[in-house]
Structure 1
Amino acid sequence: MKKLWKWLLIIIGVLLVIDIGAGMYFFHVAEVRGPKSFISSEKTLKNDPLRKQKEWYQNVKKEQWTMTSATGNLKLKAYYIPAEHQTNKTVVMAHGFLQSKEAEGAPAAMFHELGYNVLAPDDRAHGESEGKLIGYGWTDRRDYIKWMNKLLKTKGKNQQIVMYGVSMGGATTMMVSGEADVPKQVKAYVEDCGYTSVDDEITYQAKSMYHLPKYPLVPTVSLISKIRAGYDYSEASALKQLAKNKKPMLFIHGSNDTFVPTSMLEPLYNATKGPKEKYVVKGAKHAEAMNTDYKKYKQTVEKFLDKYMD
């Protein structure tokens, strides 16, 4: 019997070591800043339907803004682009995973065409902003509120703010919406293909990319995240944040999204407590709704926001 217990303890110990080792590896893949093999860099191609918008963004004059993060004292950077004609309407844009303000050409151009000023920050651990650990929108939500307050201090209290984000930026947008101290000047949100929670998305990707079940790996990685990054995956929930939101939100998703599955749209849409609309772009893959049908995308966003902007 003693030998049996000894072997059981050895096996448990070995499995625990393997689990922790795998957890550290996948934490590095998921959250540590650096290039990822499963993410391709965005390029402006000759056949890109949004080439005009992206080239405009490359050439337009941009103000360089900086501030420190809401936590951790990291130096964060952003672009500010004033509208062609003076206005108090400003969009605050949240970019996707491993993207940056440099990749915000198409949405920045769209909102510029709609008459908005544009504020495009780099999240912590992205672009020119400092930081080593990716927050998946959760740690970033506090930074975006600080950016909004900086905007109000710099450009005046009469600003009318829209927050817009795609993919991780969409999740960030929804996570911001549930904060109690969102400035009253925020009039509406537009989120495109954001995930329900970090826990759901990491679990989905573990199965999709590595054919791994949730247990025991995802809880282990989540625990490591809590220790090293200050948050666990279950608390980083767009669903929970939306349950506290009462402001208008437009939900956009591609019908063929297999990276943040389209099935996440419905629970998100049902969770919010404010006025809401949804727009499913037929045939669009992940984060490709805008370039699948730019004209209708722009019209849908404009029509939704016109209801809530003075």
Structure 2
Amino acid sequence: MGRSRIRSVWIRKPLRRMLQLFLLGYLALNAFAFFYGERLIFLPRPRSYQDSPEILKLTTHSGEQISALYLPNPTATYTVLYSHGNAEDLGRIRQRLERLKNLGVSVFAYDYRGYGTSQGKPSEQNAYQDIEAAYRYLTVTLGISPNRIILYGRSLGSGTSVEIASREAIAGLILESPFTSTFRVITQIAVVPFDRFDNLRKIEKVRCPVLFLHGTQDGLIPFRHSEILLRQVRSSKQLVAIAGADHNDLLEIAGTQYNQAIQTFIQQLKHPLVPQP
């Protein structure tokens, strides 16, 4: 009997230590996510352009100014509000924006705070304010109706685009290489309560058509993130898989497949299919 008790105590002590270590590790992970998470998410590079007459200045809700670029297309029905990925700015994405414009839309893009020549420091809440300033410029200053606006979010930009799309009656939403949430890119499941850009929770509120574009060999944000998000969308939806594409070469690998996907999506917005009785 005494030996059995000793053996039981000997077993419980390591288990208790393991649980204590697990709890300490979990608390440390949460503390790290809370205090340093946004430093890992936002990685602005040195700006690739200078302010010029074509660079617009938008004032955010908190009074800081962000930079924006408008490429109007006089024959376009829709205007694309483009939110770029991490480590990008208006200069680095200029060719992308021109390519979109050549597909028959007007294009409006902006830099998050701390990116390009935008003022301030980036954060999740500041990024929401930034796209809100861009959206307000389109709808109020330019007088563009929300049902003529297509939100386009690439990678990090999927977070701000889904945020607006979940509460505004826009025409359509395009998500290129999106994530379910930022920390799920690393942990795959919801581990911390301080996650950022929770697209998985918000996307079911989106009521407009949604187009997903994702490389099947994406090593940064795996393809399955788009598959998971797709299942949560309650409106019309389509996932275009770009075979062999990684995170930053999707346009090059896709070639004309990219153009066709965007143009088909726009045509479907103009002439939506009517369900047969």
Normalised by the length of structure 2, the TM-score is 0.76
Q: How does 1:142-291 map to 2 (within 5 A)?
A: 142-158=129-145, 160-179=148-167, 182=168, 184=169, 186-203=170-187, 219=192, 232-233=194-195, 236-291=197-252
Task: Tell me whether 141-150 or 87-96 shows the greater mean CA deviation.
Answer: 141-150
How big is the shift at 1:240? 1.1
Partner Cα distance (2:66, 2:47) in 1: 22
Normalised by the length of structure 1, the TM-score is 0.69
Alpha carbons 1:198, 1:233 under 8 Å: kept: yes
Aligned to 1:94: 83
Paired AA for residue 64 in structure 1: I
Q: Which runs of 4+ in 1 moved over 6 A?
A: none
Partner Cα distance (1:34, 1:289) in 2: 21
Paired AA for residue 126 in structure 1: Y
Q: How does 1:7-156 map to 2 (within 5 A)?
A: 19=28, 23=32, 26-27=36-37, 29-31=39-41, 63-70=54-61, 72-83=62-73, 85-135=74-124, 139-156=126-143
How big is the shift at 1:82? 1.7
Paired AA for residue 58 in structure 2: M
Partner Cα distance (2:105, 2:131) in 1: 18
How big is the shift at 1:172? 2.6
Q: Any stretches of 5+ residues in structure 1 without a counterpart? A: 1-7, 36-40, 44-57, 205-213, 223-231
Alpha carbons 1:251, 1:278 under 8 Å: kept: yes
Partner Cα distance (2:107, 2:230) in 1: 26
Closer/same/farther in 2, CA of residues 21 and 196 from structure 1, 3 Å limit: closer
How big is the shift at 1:294? 2.1
Alpha carbons 1:32, 1:132 under 8 Å: kept: no
Closer/same/farther in 2, CA of residues 203 and 126 from structure 1, 3 Å limit: farther
Q: Any stretches of 5+ residues in structure 2 without a counterpart? A: 1-16, 272-277
Task: Tell me whether 273-282 or 146-155 shows the greater mean CA deviation.
Answer: 146-155
Q: Deviations over 1:110-161 (max 9, x none)?
A: 22112222111001222211222332xx642343233122112232244711
Alpha carbons 2:47, 2:115 under 8 Å: kept: no
How big is the shift at 1:74? 2.2
Paired AA for residue 152 in structure 2: Y
SS of the equivalent of 2:178 reads coil
Paired AA for residue 176 in structure 2: D
Q: Deviations over 1:2-26 (max 9, x none)?
A: xxxxxx9xx99xx68x948982885
Alpha carbons 2:44, 2:88 under 8 Å: kept: no
How big is the shift at 1:75? 1.4
Paired AA for residue 130 in structure 1: Q
Partner Cα distance (2:262, 2:144) in 1: 24
Alpha carbons 2:69, 2:90 under 8 Å: kept: yes
Alpha carbons 1:31, 1:133 under 8 Å: kept: no
Paired AA for residue 167 in structure 1: S
Closer/same/farther in 2, CA of residues 282 and 62 from structure 1, 3 Å limit: farther
Which has the greater radius of gyration? 2
Alpha carbons 2:41, 2:182 under 8 Å: kept: no
SS of the equivalent of 2:63 reads coil
Alpha carbons 1:62, 1:81 under 8 Å: kept: no
Closer/same/farther in 2, CA of residues 309 and 62 from structure 1, 3 Å limit: farther
Closer/same/farther in 2, CA of residues 76 and 202 from structure 1, 3 Å limit: farther
